[in-house]
Chain A
Amino acid sequence: MTNALEIEGLTKTYGSGFQALKGIDLNVKQGDFFALLGPNGAGKSTTLGIVSSLVNKTAGKVRVFGYDIDTHLSDAKVNLGVVPQEFNFGQFEKVFDIVTTQAGYYGIPLKEASVSAEKYLRKLGLWDKRNTPARMLSGGMKRRLMIARALVHEPGLLILDEPTAGVDIELRRSMWAFLEEMNREGTTIILTTHYLEEAEALCRNIAIIDHGRIVRHTSKRELLQQLSIETFVLDTDTALDVVPVLHGFEVRLDDEGSLEVDVEKGQGLNGVFIQLEKLGIKVLSMRTKANRLEELFIRMIEENAEETRRAGEGVA
């Protein structure tokens, strides 16, 4: 089966001379739900921009369902739906017109386009707003409008650049459910996000990009398995001011006097509770600290910065 997206040796140097991509390789299988993660300025939008013909590449290969964008651009485009990071619809145009006009650009006659537009506007909860000019929509509605517009020609690959930025939790969850449904029905999805729980909840495979390089390209499961230490936060009945000694565990107090315990994989939590019991400390509640993926992510970015720095020193 051909991959939904293949990127080889992709580089981008902007007109300003800034090298945003330094050789990206990326494969996304058909049917995958893929997250492209990375800090601000890492090169996520640049990568997706090149795939969607919004940015000219400097070098490298991009294939969408096997169609090379250098030789079979229009086939590649037909198979691709794009939700950009910034709002880019005509502010004065009506919701329905925006979606059907986009379909028209793909050569879909108005009659068919209207059916498809209605389907996606309904699914995304925008049908009531179909005659509203885009500028009068709320931020969350605008994001959904861009998704409906990207799907109107039923592409096999949907790429979304921060689709849930500025969207409230409830709406975000309903967008997740929508995207999961699309994915189940066969659409390959690639998204970028700064909400790591989003990637954790939705995606099967993940690539982490930083300073224009892929620092990790793996499955979410494998990535999470690498997290050998997990930190738990325990709220106790009395505020502690001295750190209790728990044999075999690294323990700290956080700013609010709650206990933070590092637990290695396979170590189990029983030891923690037995020792706390002996010390007469009662645990009221417990939670894991931060999102696991988030922690891993931060560590990886730090390591990459360290490596980049060392490499820099080597050259100097």
Chain B
Amino acid sequence: MSGMSSAALFTAFKTIVVKEIRRFTRIWVQTLLPPVITMTLYFIIFGNLIGSRIGQMGGLDYMAFIVPGLIMMSVITNSYANVVSSFFSMKFQRNIEELLVSPVPNWIILAGWVCGGMARGLSIGLIVTVLSLAFTNLTIHNLGIMVTTVFLTSALFSLGGFINAMLATKFDDISIVPTFVLTPLTYLGGVFYSIDLLPDFWRGVSMANPILYMVNGFRYGILGVSDVNPFVSLGMILVFITVLTIIALRMLARGKGIRH
């Protein structure tokens, strides 16, 4: 099959990313505003009001401790939400047919949506970071690890959102994973506490939670403290990304749910 030239592939990719960015900025009241409000409340309530009574966590000021976790939480939720709702509504409106009739290869479609999800996840991550500066001082311990961790995590959850959208057949299906999987795993993923506080058994259980590694990897990048080795965390994210990419590409190739 003689495909598109690399310039044409790049144009197609850019088209998808621009369309995705246009979408989430157009509906900024639904996409950009809520995390700003929620996170400000978290900072005020957990950081300032309650945080001042908690004192130290993991050897740090409580406010400083939770900031990296809250940034990660916003990145995870928003990357996932962007791709799942955008791709599912595209499928639902049959708008996906615009792509099916065109010569865009599947890997470009996937890359386009993942980057779209990252654009939203990371923009919000950045906004939340800037907000947090009003409450605490951030000094970055290891920029490389911090940036790599947040980029890869955003990519991973964008992929997850994509797969969820491929599987979903009705609107309910796009909120199942965020509600029953992502939210609990994030809350229990060491955003608000160090797992050192937990009894041995629960600490063991927590170690099976992938989000714990991402949050801690990112926290290490900023604060230099972590419950786990940040390189183990990066390696794990990469493994997950590889697996989900293969699954997503297979689904696209089979066209399940998008082609009769």
Residues of A within 8 A of B (CB): 14-15, 49, 52-56, 71-75, 77-78, 80, 82, 84, 86, 88-93, 97, 101-102, 104-110, 149
Contacts and interface: CB of A to CB of B under 8 A. Distances in A.
Contacts of B101: 52-54, 77, 80, 82
A190 to B, nearest CB: 14
* Main DSSP-derived SS at the A contact region: loop
A105 B15 contact: yes
A56 to B, nearest CB: 5
A9 to B, nearest CB: 19
A109 B23 CA distance: 20
A92 B89 CA distance: 11
Interface string B29-68: 0000000000000000000000000000000000000000
In the complex, the 6 A-B pairs of residues with the closest C-beta atoms, listed nearest first: A107-B8, A104-B15, A105-B102, A74-B103, A88-B94, A77-B103
Given A72-B2, A84-B97, A104 B255 contact: no
A12 to B, nearest CB: 9
Contacts of A84: 94, 97
B260 A55 contact: yes
A97 B22 contact: yes
B98 interface: yes
Contacts of A93: 19, 22
A74 B2 contact: yes
Contact of B98 (A56, A105, A107, A109): A105
A88 B98 contact: yes
A86 B11 contact: no
A232 B1 CA distance: 57
B131 interface: no
B10 to A, nearest CB: 8
B259 A54 contact: yes
Given A75-B2, A106-B103, A108-B11, 14 more contacts: A15-B260, A53-B101, A54-B101, A74-B103, A75-B1, A90-B90, A101-B19, A104-B11, A105-B98, A105-B102, A105-B104, A106-B8, A109-B11, A110-B15
B9 interface: yes
A287 B232 CA distance: 85
A157 B201 CA distance: 66
A52 B15 CA distance: 21
Contacts of B94: 84, 86, 88
Contacts of A86: 94
A91 B23 CA distance: 12
A101 B11 CA distance: 10
Nearest to B15: A104
Given A56-B260, A90-B90, A107 B5 contact: yes
Contact of B259 (A55, A72, A106): A55
Interface in B244-260: 255, 259-260
A89 B105 CA distance: 20
A307 to B, nearest CB: 29
A110 B22 CA distance: 15
Nearest to A16: B260
A55 B97 CA distance: 10
